[in-house]
């Protein structure tokens, strides 16, 4: 029997892509994630619960910065050559994202070079890279006309450098909503095959095969081609009932309602808990609830409030979007108070966020629920972990397609 294909996950976050690869039959060697809370979520679910990684003895099983790994374990990394099928991941996207302040000077953008260095040292057979749509756009707002980072990465990976033969690579924008995820979320994906592999095929064939596999995958898992927001989370309504939150004193948590869609049935499979994990409701003040009721009744759905309504309700936030249950959700970010629930006067819970990102209900999140102020750029609470993740439902389809390529 052939051994499982192996991979390393860089900038792994809370494990969205690793979960997808686990579900598609891949075996992880290790995952690199700098933030402690995000790593705790990955560790709890994929290391302890699922025994998914064959973690090497030389690498402490904890959160790490990629530059520390490159500096401290270069010999061990070189020893992995010819033993790693795949390296996945993409550097943090905040400096590129159009959802925030696009900044070419953001220090996190420099992690692209760390990613390229890691690839050149380990030299996996194939690579899979993901980042925000803004990764393909110039930084025109800056005084110095910026580069297109997708082009920079492509050219760097294609280049033959010293003992690394380079990769044949191809990049494309993909909307995860086209792959069963109940959210319009377009990302830049890049796939590459090492040039010295004899049976190397054209990298664009990965995207063709991914799309060709889509319908059969969704049908086999009982998922509709298109899932609306209501179909994704209507069994998690506040009106279904509440109990005291298991992990937060002074808060209420929701209980399950009846399964009302194929997607909900898929999300709740293998979950043995009677109370959904991380389904804690925010303690909105009564004035806030009344304001939300009026907004839901009068504002356009899936659009941020116009200036007139903001002034009417005394809202100073730049973004507040009441979502529409009859459509796929807008792209969710790391800021939960940017969105209003489609039919209840409140923001979404962490579990609802996870559903929108296609994390199954058995996947449990660790760390703070929220953060703010100056520590927002350092801490990665549960909402942020999910908002930064690759949807596992899409990741599983990626894994199945990659299996076809390396077999």
pLDDT at 185 over 90: yes
Mean pLDDT over 197-201 rounds to: 71
Enumerate the domain spans of the chain: 6-222+391-406, 229-387
Q: Check: CATH 3.40.50.150 for 6-222+391-406? A: yes
| Least confident range of 165-179, 352-366, 369-383 | 369-383
Per-residue pLDDT of 226-258, as tens digits, reads 999 999 999 999 999 999 999 999 999 999 999
pTM score over 0.75: yes
Buried b (16+ CB within 10 A) or exposed e, 323-340: bbbebbbbbbbbbbebbb
Residue 131, beta-bridge partner list: 188
Quick one: pLDDT band at residue 94, thresholds 50, 70, 90? very low
- Under 8 Å between Cβ of 91 and 106: no
Same fold, 6-222+391-406 and 229-387: no
pLDDT at 56 over 60: yes
Quick one: pLDDT band at residue 275, thresholds 50, 70, 90? very high
Quick one: pLDDT band at residue 113, thresholds 50, 70, 90? very high
Burial of 48 per CB tally in 10 Å (0-12, 13-18, 19+) = exposed
- Residue 103: the pLDDT is 45
The CATH code of domain 229-387 reads 3.90.120
**Helix, strand, coil proportions of the chain in percent (round to 5)?**
40, 15, 45
Burial of 149 per CB tally in 10 Å (0-12, 13-18, 19+) = buried
**Cα gap 286→344, rounded to integer Å:** 13
**Cα gap 240→186, rounded to integer Å:** 33
- Residue 147: the pLDDT is 58
Residues contacting 216, CB < 8 A, separation 6+ = none
Mean pLDDT over 353-360 rounds to: 98
DSSP string covering 76-134: HHHTTTTS-SEEEE----TTT-TTS---TT-GGGGHHHHHHHHHHHH--SEEEEEEEGG
Mean pLDDT over 261-268 rounds to: 97
pLDDT at 181 over 80: yes
DSSP string covering 237-253: -GGG-EEE-SSSTT-EE
Q: How many CB atoms lie within 10 A of CB 170?
A: 17
| Least confident range of 109-118, 132-141, 146-155, 392-401 | 132-141
**Residues belonging to the active site:** 93
- Percentage of the chain with pLDDT > 70? 91
């Amino acid at each position: 029997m052939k051994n499982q294909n192996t991979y390393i996950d860089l900038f792994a976050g809370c494990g969205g892509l690793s979960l997808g690869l686990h579900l598609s039959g891949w075996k992880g060697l290790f995952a690199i994630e700098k933030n402690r809370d995000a790593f705790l979520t990955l560790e709890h679910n994929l290391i302890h619960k699922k025994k998914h990684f064959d973690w090497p003895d030389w690498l402490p099983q904890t959160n790490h910065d990629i530059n520390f790994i490159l500096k401290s374990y270069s010999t061990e990394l070189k020893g992995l050559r010819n033993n790693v099928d795949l390296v996945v991941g993409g550097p943090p996207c905040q400096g590129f994202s159009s959802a925030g302040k696009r900044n070419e000077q953001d220090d996190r953008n420099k992690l692209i070079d760390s990613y390229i260095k890691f690839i050149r040292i380990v030299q996996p057979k194939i690579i899979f890279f993901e980042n925000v749509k803004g990764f393909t756009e110039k930084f025109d707002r800056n005084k110095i006309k910026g580069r297109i980072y997708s082009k920079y990465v492509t050219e760097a990976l294609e280049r033959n450098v010293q003992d690394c033969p380079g990769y044949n690579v191809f990049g494309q924008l993909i909307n995860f909503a086209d792959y069963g995820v109940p959210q319009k979320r377009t990302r830049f994906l890049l796939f590459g095959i090492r040039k010295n592999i004899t049976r190397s095929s054209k990298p664009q064939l990965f995207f063709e095969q991914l799309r060709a596999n889509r319908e059969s995958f969704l049908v086999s898992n009982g998922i509709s081609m298109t899932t609306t927001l209501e179909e994704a989370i209507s069994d998690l309504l506040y009106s279904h009932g509440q109990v005291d939150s298991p992990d937060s004193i002074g808060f209420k948590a929701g209980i399950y309602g009846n399964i009302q869609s194929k997607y909900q049935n898929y999300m709740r499979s293998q979950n043995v808990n009677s109370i959904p994990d991380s389904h804690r409701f925010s303690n909105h003040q009564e004035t806030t609830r009344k304001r939300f009721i009026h907004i839901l009744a009068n504002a356009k759905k899936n659009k941020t409030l116009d200036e007139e309504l903001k002034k009417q309700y005394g809202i100073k936030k730049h973004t507040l979007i009441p979502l529409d249950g009859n459509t796929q959700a807008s792209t969710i970010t790391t800021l939960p108070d940017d969105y209003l629930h489609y039919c209840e006067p409140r923001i979404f819970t962490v579990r609802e966020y996870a559903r929108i990102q296609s994390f199954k209900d058995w996947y449990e999140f660790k760390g703070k629920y929220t953060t703010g102020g100056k520590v927002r750029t350092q801490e990665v609470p549960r909402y942020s972990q999910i908002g930064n993740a690759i949807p596992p439902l899409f990741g599983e389809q990626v894994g199945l397609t990659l299996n076809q390529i390396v077999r």
